[in-house]
Amino acid sequence: MKLLFVADPLESFKIYKDTTFAMMREAARRGHELWACHPADLVWRSGGRVVAQGARAISLTGDADRWFSVVSEGELALADTDAVVMRKDPPFDSEYFYATHLLQQAEREGAKVFNKPAALRDHPEKLSLLEFPQFSAPTLVTRSEAAIRTFHKEHGDIILKPLDGMGGTGIFRVGADGLNLGAIIETLNKGGAETVMVQRYLPAIKDGDKRVLVIGGQVVPFCLARIPQGGEVRGNLAAGGKGVAQPISARDREIAETLGPILAARGLLLVGLDVIGDSLTEINVTSPTCFQEITDQTGFDVAKMFIDALEAKI
């Protein structure tokens, strides 16, 4: 199969932990042809097809420092591949949004894209949990300072975060004393111009913000608990959290087995659910990670499960 990965620049990969690299490595092990491009390389012209200009066919070298070599480079029509794997990291900004439309046009031309572009647009990672309130902690989505203050009075200890953040950026905790609440609201909602998510603080974060993976509607039996370090409230690995793989709990499985088939039917081949304690906090669909950490610590080959699912869809 010819696989095109739409991703951040390959030179930026930290291959010891990068999930896209793990996917590529497993695909290469099976003899699949690897291509890569950046969303900025996507082009459409009247009368033509969506192409990736400057797409690179690569081979994996096995060298940790120079992990790939370029076999060839040129224009590649997405419809001439067997699968396009969209792995561009957030933020889900305007350019990401435009890229999904180009990818959707490529679908009309015959390309198979995973995750499905329309599904990426329909499932913003923080707001998607609104569809499943039975699993989420008390949550507020608003631009209103007054509404946030009322929520704080009701719950006493809260987490505030921007809707377009990733890796724990822009997350604040405000305790019962309300210290700096006004300044934090001003920072996040920019005078009412931007929408903020507010959730009741979950003490179970001390045991980790669990990443539960669902592939092709099926639940990976291990999760990665990302445990805050050094007084941090954030467990995100990018914010210094420690990743500890563990079997999923009965509650994790309940959440994942409920959402998995629903999301898979919408074209989401890979989903990363964030669960703190018994509560769903986010549904990640753009570029879910943690493959390598789970595999390294448990021996369960997550990349194999993903490529199996990808092959089954082609």
- The per-residue pLDDT for 239 is 63
Task: Give me the pLDDT at residue 301, please.
Answer: 98
CA dihedral 71, 19, 27, 295 (to 10 degrees): 140
Q: Residue 86 has what pLDDT?
A: 98
Catalogue the active-site residues: 126, 161, 211, 226, 234, 274, 282, 284
Full set of structural domains in the chain with CATH: 2-114 (3.40.50.20), 127-131+204-308 (3.30.470.20), 139-201 (3.30.1490.20)
Residues in the chain: 314
Average pLDDT of the chain is 95
pLDDT digits (tens, 9 = 90+) for 209-241: 999 999 999 999 999 999 988 767 766 776 678
Position 240 scores a pLDDT of 78
Give pLDDT, residue 237. 72
Q: How far apart are the first and last CA of the chain?
A: 9
For residue 235, what pLDDT is reported?
66
- State the pLDDT at residue 254: 98
- The order of strands in the sheet holding 158-162 is 139-142, 196-200, 158-162, 172-174
Q: What is the pLDDT of residues 126-176, one digit of tens each?
A: 999 999 999 999 999 999 999 999 999 999 999 999 998 777 788 999 999
Instruction: Report, as ranges of residue numbers, the positions in the chain whose pLDDT lies below 50.
Output: none
Say which residues have a Cβ less than 8 Å from residue 278's Cβ, sequence separation at least 6: 204, 251
pTM exceeds cut of 0.85:
yes
